[in-house]
Amino acid sequence: MRSWEKNIRKVTPYTPGEQPQRDGIIKLNTNENPYPPSQKFMQKLKEMQGGSLRLYPDPAAKTLVDALAAYHGLLPEQVFVGVGSDDVLAMSFLTFFQSSKPVLFPDITYSFYDVWAELFQIPYERPPLAEDFTIVPGDYFRDNGGVIFPNPNAPTGIAMELEAVREILEHNQDVVVIVDEAYVDFGADSALPLIKEYENLLLVRTFSKSRSLAGLRIGYAIGSPALIRYLNDVKFSFNSYTMNQPSIYLGAAAMEDEEYFQGTLRKIVDTREWAKKELLALGFTFHDSKANFIFARHETCAAEELYDALRKADIYVRHFQQERIRDYLRITVGTREEMEVLIRFLKKYLRP
Ligand code: PMP
């Protein structure tokens, strides 16, 4: 190591899923929505005026915050917005996890959590999921510096009942509890009703999955005005203008077409349930996913082999090298047509 390298912050970064830069790929590797944003939204995009881009955006992103507050029936003081939920989560780690006691999150979960913990030098422990990959609420009933988990969990897709979330909150009144609801719209119960009861509960959501806008980079947090104030203080100490002007305007526009939103959700959930039956018939096993992906293993064929074979056929899925889940593939639910191509390929590959 050269002498000037000694005092540099060294981190092992998170590895995002691949974004291939060519057409013709069935892309089931990063949990994007297979459907485009609504026509109404596209119209707003076309009508957008660029003139005001010479100005800085509104640092409070009020148009977007107000739209989200109105949508959820909350006060604007209960909403915080960021550049994708990754930005919101990073800010939340920085703001809320300041204790010398360990923050708790499951051993198998969104693999960015330990990266942020390492980056911000936050102590953490990872209680293992049960044998059936469910989160064990009792593991979070001990002294800690904060709690975070996704509901449904990723990459398992398993949802936790609202009562279990409440139990975790009941046992964690003196720390901040973050529920990452990136995939909640696909069939899990949101902890939104608990917001008025627990001042220390923060929900984090994203426009990247259910709202078909991964490319726009919008995420948000919902919580008590006190929590949101702390988050804003840190955000304004870091970067006043995280949200760009088109995102503020278009994000608000994206909340307007509820019918289209519910329609795409329904299609994805129907396709997911259809794909589960097909995968089961092909010898796959999986837990009951309530997200827009299925986390599956095959009874005889190794995940890595399948991953490579699928990739050669231009079907991209996700495989993690982490212990306990090496035998699994995470398959994003695409359109029905895309899933039919996947199933046809698997039928041929697994039963030559
Ligand atoms: N939380 C979870 C559980 C996720 O899987 C993802 C997607 N990688 C995110 C948060 C971040 O998504 P985004 O930054 O696109 O909102």
- The tens digit of pLDDT for each residue in 29-49 reads 999 999 999 999 999 999 998
Work out which ligand 1 atom sits closest to the CA atom of 31.
7
Sequence ranges of the domains in the chain: 3-37+258-350, 51-254
Q: Over 90: is that where the pLDDT of 27 sits?
A: yes
Q: How far is the CA of 31 from the centre of ligand 1 (A)?
A: 9
CB 194 within 8 A of CB 74: no
Instruction: Kindly state the helix (H) or strand (E) to which residue 284 belongs, with its residue range.
Output: strand 284-286
Query: Which CATH code, of 3.40.640.10, 3.40.50.300, 3.90.1150.10, 1.10.10.10, is assigned to 3-37+258-350?
Result: 3.90.1150.10
What is the reported pTM? 0.97
Q: How far is the CA of 21 from the centre of ligand 1 (A)?
A: 21
- Condensed to tens digits (0 to 9), the pLDDT of residues 53-92 reads 999 999 999 999 999 999 999 999 999 999 999 999 999 9
| Nearest Cα residue to atom 6 of ligand 1 | 182
> How large is the average pLDDT for residues 239-257?
96
Q: Specify the pLDDT at position 352.
A: 65
Task: Give ligand 1 pocket residues (Cβ under 6 A).
Answer: 84-86, 110, 150, 154, 180, 182, 206, 208, 214, 219
- Condensed to tens digits (0 to 9), the pLDDT of residues 198-215 reads 999 999 999 999 999 999
- Condensed to tens digits (0 to 9), the pLDDT of residues 307-334 reads 999 999 999 999 999 999 999 999 999 9
- As its CATH architecture, domain 51-254 has 3-Layer(aba) Sandwich (3.40)
Work out which ligand 1 atom sits closest to the CA atom of 154.
3
Q: How far is the CA of 182 from the centre of ligand 1 (A)?
A: 6
